[in-house]
Amino acid sequence: MVLLKLFLNVCARLNRKVFNGSGRLFRRREKLEPSQKFGRRLRAIFTSGKLDQAEWDELEATLLGADVGTSATRLILADMRERMSRKDEPVEALRATLLAALACEQTRDIELRKSADGTPRVLLIVGVNGAGKTTSVGKLAHLAVEEGAQVVIAAADTFRAAATEQVETWAKRAGAQLISGEPGGDPAAIAFDAVKSAKESGADLVLVDTAGRLHTKVDLMNELGKVRRVVEKGAAVDEILLVLDATTGQNGLTQAKVFGEAVALTGVILTKLDGSARGGIIIAIQQELGIPVKFVGLGEGIDDLAPFDAELFVEGILS
Amino acid sequence: MFDSLSDRLSQTFATLRGKGRLSDKDIEQTCTEIREALLEADVALSVVNGVVEKVRERSVGVQVTPGLNPSQQIITIIYEELVAVLGGAARRITLAKRPPTVIMLAGLQGAGKTTLAGKLAMWLKREGHTPLLVACDLQRPNAVEQLAQVAKQVGVPIFSPEPGNGVGDPVKVARDGVELARTKLHDVVIVDTAGRLGVDAELMNQASKIRDAISPDEILFVVDAMIGQDALTTAEAFRDGVGFTGVVLTKLDGDARGGAALSLSSVIGKPIMFASSGEKLSDFDLFYPERMAQRILGMGDVASLAEQAKRAIGGDEIEAMEAKFASGQDFTLTDFLKQMQGLKQMGSMSKILGMLPGAAAMKKQIADIDEGEIVRVEAIIQSMTPLERENPKILNGSRRARIAQGSGRKVSEVNSLMERFTGAQKMMRQMAKGGMPQLPPGMKMPMGMGGAMGPGGAMGQGMGALGGGFGAGKQTPQKKKSKSGNPAKRALEEGR
């Protein structure tokens, strides 16, 4: 009886996902299949316990092709060799190496409900132009609302054409309140107002959508620091998440470094992982900067956000 | 900080002695360095291997001469290879014989298509055309509104019958938009489409339907310069799914090396037509293969940097400086102050310096630069009298003490500034005479570089302001001597 209920439950949820947004679940699968070709090839070549030069080269090519980068690839192959010398099977050695490379001390979880004393959680969403910040804000808001949270979104991108209208659409879709200002207005002021409003209304979560900015623009990086400082006058900032496009190459590490210098990053949202890019640069970001990936974006729909799963990510690179 | 290929190769060959050809071992080492550098620049692995092979072949003939580091020759070989590939298919936008010219934009989400649509429209308008923008991104929230606002900023009309956000048929909008352009006699139509993944069969199909409906004269594949190894996979998917006739690279104002440019040129063979570098609608230019080659090799984009410097420091200032040096006058503290202030406007000094060729050799000096220094130096110089600034020789102990007190700094800081200034002065004199520290010889410079590099030029100003740090660099011997009194012209004539 319980099993049947469970089964029906799952079907109902699947149905909801299938018909909610016209076949998004199936569309997502279609998208994921081709990009999983990568690792399948790899598994096929690891036939014996030892690897010949061609197989090592193939492995190196796979990692480089996933944007893991030359230094990180070197370290991974060396680590893998070491494990194999201790009698590990190649596939196991590789999986263990990659998981070790992604291991992080901090939690990947984020708090979506306000703290015991009623202070709202504040998340700052930052990143370069076009990474997927506003869409991610919408997804996070939706996730939080589904969990029963009351959400306030700060439309702090006052620069880009129609940015406020864009995040407004997401706020409506997610069921979150929007705090916005005039184009060209002060982003820090809007963020502060959102925190103030959240405290007054007893909201759980404040999501601050900021303007896309290249890390090479010093004044824009300084502005980000200012936004954080101003927000902190109202409430502590719980998370500063860097939104990173999975197609980004080695520049992703530079982005994380420089954004991290301007504001202390607590995590990464890796977006557009439903494409053919593997996002391997996050390995270097974890290793060199200790910044963990907390979420992955898997499409343009409001549901297309998943918590980062290291095992699945490694599978994506390999299988 | 850029650890550029040229610096790395210099180090590789630093201990080379004797004459004759490069040994196999040297060539292997070279190839390893090149491979690493190009991968770090996000060039596709398959393309890297191809380039390395070509360079290996040509390296066999490189002679080792005492006193001359073969790295320069190798760099020139690579540079030439890259420029050839990047510029190989270069051409202008094809305008239709019978208007309107239909330009369709396609690419991944977030590449910068909508902003580019506005830039293209502005550029075409300036060239005397009458563009119409068509809003066919009916998917991304408020994309139509974004394009409408962009159209308003540029002052061109937009066709946006559907609100988007999931409502409307982009194929119909595209078709109707082109039809409207025809009837209203617009000579160019720019069709902005939704971002889509190369692996999304449904949306790639939609793109091909849009293409079939409007028969574009140009389909521009818009790609973010920071894209990594996925560039080739995605480009092939777009080529096969919808096809494109040209490429536009965006966000070049970042510091991504842009290796995708090489991958696309090499494999897909479609011309990169434009370079987009900034969020302003005017931040749009033709694509220059030489600049891209330098950027990929980690040499920074010196020409763009020079332009940036020029804008920050001001063209008039530069002309005045050039005239001053041409007349034999000396570099003064007033000039030094102006340069510092100009540099302040340009942004992070260490980043700018990192972009200059030979930056690695100056690493230590650059790392020691403190951004706050500019403010301190300004204060000190501003406490000097105009006479003192023009004639620093008169700065005796009592004057220095007064200046220190007036600017709230220590006498030792004033002394240290004077030392640096003297170093800068020496360097500026040297540049005025035609010497250029640390630039690899035989390097073909992009147009306008000669002017930019002269002492009055933007780069000269930047280097002068650093004061002293450069003096330690090795000097490249100048063989040709120009007769021109203008240092900038001389630099051009001497082929620097």
Contacts of B482 (CB under 8 A, 6+ apart): B434, B489, B490, B493, B494
Q: What is the pTM of this model?
A: 0.77
Across B296-327, b (16+ Cβ under 10 Å) vs e yields bbbbbbbbbbbebbbebbeeebbeebbebbbe
Task: Tell me which residue range forms the domain holding A173.
Answer: 121-309
CATH number at residue B10: 1.20.120.140
* A160/B253 CB distance under 8 A: no
Residues A150 and A251 in one domain: yes
**Same structural domain for residues B267 and B324?**
no
Residue B292 lies in a domain: no
B167 interfaces chain A, CB cutoff of 8 Å: no
| More confident call, B244 vs A31 | B244
pLDDT digits over A265-298, tens only?
A: 999 999 999 999 999 999 999 999 999 999 999 9
Q: Average per-residue pLDDT in chain B?
A: 80
Q: What is the CATH number of the domain that holds A155?
A: 3.40.50.300
pLDDT of residue B372: 74
- Show Cβ contacts of residue A250 under 8 Å, excluding neighbours closer than 6 positions: A67, A69, A281, B40, B41, B42, B228, B256, B257
Looking at the structure, tell me whether residues A55 and A171 fall in a common domain: no
Query: Is there a single domain that holds both residue A236 and residue A289?
Result: yes
What confidence category does residue B307 fall into, taking pLDDT thresholds of 50, 70 and 90? low
Do B18 and B166 reside in the same domain of the chain? Answer: no
Question: Distance, in angstroms, between B31 CA and closest chain A CA?
Answer: 15
Chain A from 156 to 185: CB within 8 A of any B CB: 159-163, 165-166, 168-170
Query: Per-residue confidence at B495, pLDDT binned at 50, 70, 90?
Result: very low
- pLDDT, residue B420, reads 80
Asked if B230's CB is within 8 angstroms of A67's CB, the reply is: yes
A204 shares its domain with A241? yes
* Mean pLDDT, residues B188-194 taken together: 98
Given A51, A75, A102, which residue is the final one in a domain?
A102
Per-residue model confidence (pLDDT) at position A28:
39
Is residue B288 within 8 Å of B262, Cβ to Cβ?
A: no
Look at residue A87 in the predicted model and tell me its pLDDT. 84
User: Under an 8 A CB cutoff, do A251 and B142 touch?
Assistant: no
On average, the pLDDT of chain A sits at 87
Q: Which of A96-105, B314-323, B352-361, B420-429 has the lowest mean pLDDT?
A: B352-361
Q: Does A3 touch chain B (CB under 8 A)?
A: no
Task: List the domain range (segments joined by +) for residue B481.
Answer: 314-493
Contacts of residue B164 in chain A, CB cutoff 8 Å?
none
Q: Say yes or no: B331 and B261 in one domain.
A: no
Q: What percent of chain A has pLDDT over 90?
A: 78
Q: Look at residue A247 and tell me if it is in a domain.
A: yes
Answer whether residue B197 shows pLDDT above 70.
yes
pLDDT in tens, A106-120: 889 999 999 999 999
**Residue A16 pLDDT more than 60?**
no
A166-176 average pLDDT score = 98
Higher pLDDT pick, A82 / B475:
A82
End-of-domain residue from the set A102, A133, A158: A102
pLDDT for the residue B439: 39
A187 and A276, same domain (yes or no): yes
Both B328 and B277 in one domain: the answer is no
CB within 8 Å: B230 and A247:
yes
- Average of per-residue pLDDT across B23-35: 87
Are A63 and A157 contained in the same domain?
no
Is B364 found in the same domain as B272? Answer: no
Residue-wise pLDDT tens digits, B343-355: 666 555 555 555 5
The pLDDT tens digits of the residues spanning B439-456 come to 333 333 332 333 344 444
What DSSP string describes A155-223? Answer: EE--SSTTHHHHHHHHHHHHT-EEE---TT--HHHHHHHHHHHHHHHT-SEEEEEE----TT-HHHHHH
Please indicate, yes or no, if residue B435 is contained in any of the structural domains: yes
Is residue A11 scored above 60 in pLDDT?
A: no
Size of interface A-B (CB pairs under 8 A): 154
In a domain, B305, yes or no: no
The total domain count for chain A is: 2
pLDDT higher at A9 or B393: B393
Q: Do residues B353 and B425 both lie within one domain?
A: yes
In DSSP terms, which residues pair with B218 in a beta bridge?
B103
Instruction: Tell me which residue in A64, A275, A300 faces B39 most closely, judged by beta carbons.
Output: A64
Q: State the CATH number of the domain containing residue A88.
A: 1.20.120
Chain B, 338 to 377: residues with Cβ < 8 Å from chain A are 347-348, 351
With cut-offs at 50, 70 and 90, classify the pLDDT of residue A41.
Answer: low
Q: Specify whether B131 is located in the same domain as B253.
A: yes
Burial class of B70 by CB neighbour count within 10 A (0 to 12, 13 to 18, 19+):
buried
B300 found inside a domain: no
Shared domain check, A81 and A43: yes
The whole-number average pLDDT for the span B253-281 is 94
What percentage of chain B reaches a pLDDT higher than 70? 71
Average pLDDT over residues B266-282: 94
When mean pLDDT is compared across A201-215, B210-224, B332-346, the lowest value belongs to B332-346
pLDDT at residue number B193: 98
